[in-house]
Amino acid sequence: MTIAARLASRSAPWAMVGASRAGVGALVALVVALHLRVPIKTKRRGLSWARSLLGTASMLTTFYAISAPSLAVGTAVTLFATSPIFIALLSPKILGEHPGRGLWSVLIVAFAGVSLVAGPQLGFAAGPAASAISAAVFSACAMMFLRMMRSGRDEGEPESAEAIALHFGLVGFAAHAVISLFTFRMPEARDVVWLFVAGLAGGLAQLAMTRAFALTEAARLGAVGYLGTVMSFVGSVVFLGERPGFTQIIGAMLVVGSGIVLALLSARRSLSPAAVSLEPVTAEPVSPGAARPKASA
């Protein structure tokens, strides 16, 4: 999606790129929902609006950063990749999920990597770089609410992935469409294709991510997303001809490595006896005539 969005932004305004991503993504969610015959309305409006508004803020800042010619795509995706770091930082208070004791050490290494990646471009791309980091923060906050909606927390049944993605897509499309009214210009025919590709890829990825957040801890899942960061970084070199400097490559490795360590810490803790004992146990129903086990002294 990132590469397609950058290619589309050669002639399309960044708000149009974002509107395409959100609109096509909403259409994908609707088609899948109708095919699977799952609900297309969310039940918990407060969580749904919080997730959609924060996600829209992340999308706005994401496409502004991606479309900025002064900011390399490799740099942008590395800054976006700090989102799992912010998830790990926020999830203990918001979700009660603790990645592990080494969190602060990992954070120091990760943000050292960010300084190496963004430092060389702060002189001429400070705005887009700040936008990319803001996108990571907004995304992390949105993922907190997504985790609540998909895991059945907050005394409610888990929402369907399609309903969440549809609501988010419609809100995001509306926000980008309003901005597009003031920045509209007709893109070239070749870039219209990339607009659709960006929307389709982003929509499918959105559904997959939304489903995944019901299955595992937010910090661990966010760290797995670094595979996309690596692919985007490589794609920026292969398809866009970008040539990152040595310090930027080292910084990117530090950020990605920190995410992998977070995933390992999260997995180790979730498999430990102490972590398992904290999981809620659902009692099986006992028939009226069945003998109940005696409580041990």
* pLDDT score at 284: 44
The one-character DSSP state at 293 is P
Number of domains in the chain: 1
Q: How far apart are CA 235 and CA 237, in angstroms?
A: 5
Q: Nearest CA to 230 among 58, 67, 81?
A: 81
Asked if residue 281 is part of any domain, the answer here is no
- Report the first-to-last Cα separation within the chain, whole angstroms: 60
Residues 171/52, Cβ–Cβ less than 8 Å: yes
In which domain, by residue range, is 265 found? 2-271
DSSP three-state, residue 69: coil
Regions of the chain where pLDDT drops below 70: 97-102, 119-124, 150-156, 212-227, 263-297
pLDDT digits (tens, 9 = 90+) for 159-191: 888 899 999 999 999 999 999 999 999 999 999
Asked if residue 297 is part of any domain, the answer here is no
Asked if residue 186 is part of any domain, the answer here is yes
Asked if residue 294 is part of any domain, the answer here is no
CA atoms within 13 A on the CB side of 133: 15
For the chain, what percentages of helix, strand and coil (3-state, to nearest 5) are there? 75, 0, 25
pLDDT digits (tens, 9 = 90+) for 39-87: 899 888 888 999 999 999 999 999 999 999 988 888 888 888 888 778 8
**Residues 275, 279, 283, CA angle at the centre, nearest 5°?**
145
Asked if residue 103 is part of any domain, the answer here is yes
* pLDDT score at 267: 60
Q: Nearest CA to 142 among 198, 75, 201, 94?
A: 94
* pLDDT score at 223: 56
Asked if residue 278 is part of any domain, the answer here is no
Asked if residue 276 is part of any domain, the answer here is no
DSSP three-state, residue 272: coil
Asked if residue 134 is part of any domain, the answer here is yes
Q: Nearest CA to 132 among 77, 85, 180, 55?
A: 77
Q: What pTM did the predictor assign?
A: 0.78
**DSSP states of 155-191 as a string?**
TSPPPPHHHHHHHHHHHHHHHHHHHHHHH--PPPHHH
Alpha-helical runs (H) found in the chain? 2-8, 14-36, 45-67, 73-80, 83-94, 103-118, 122-151, 161-183, 189-212, 218-224, 226-238, 246-271, 273-277
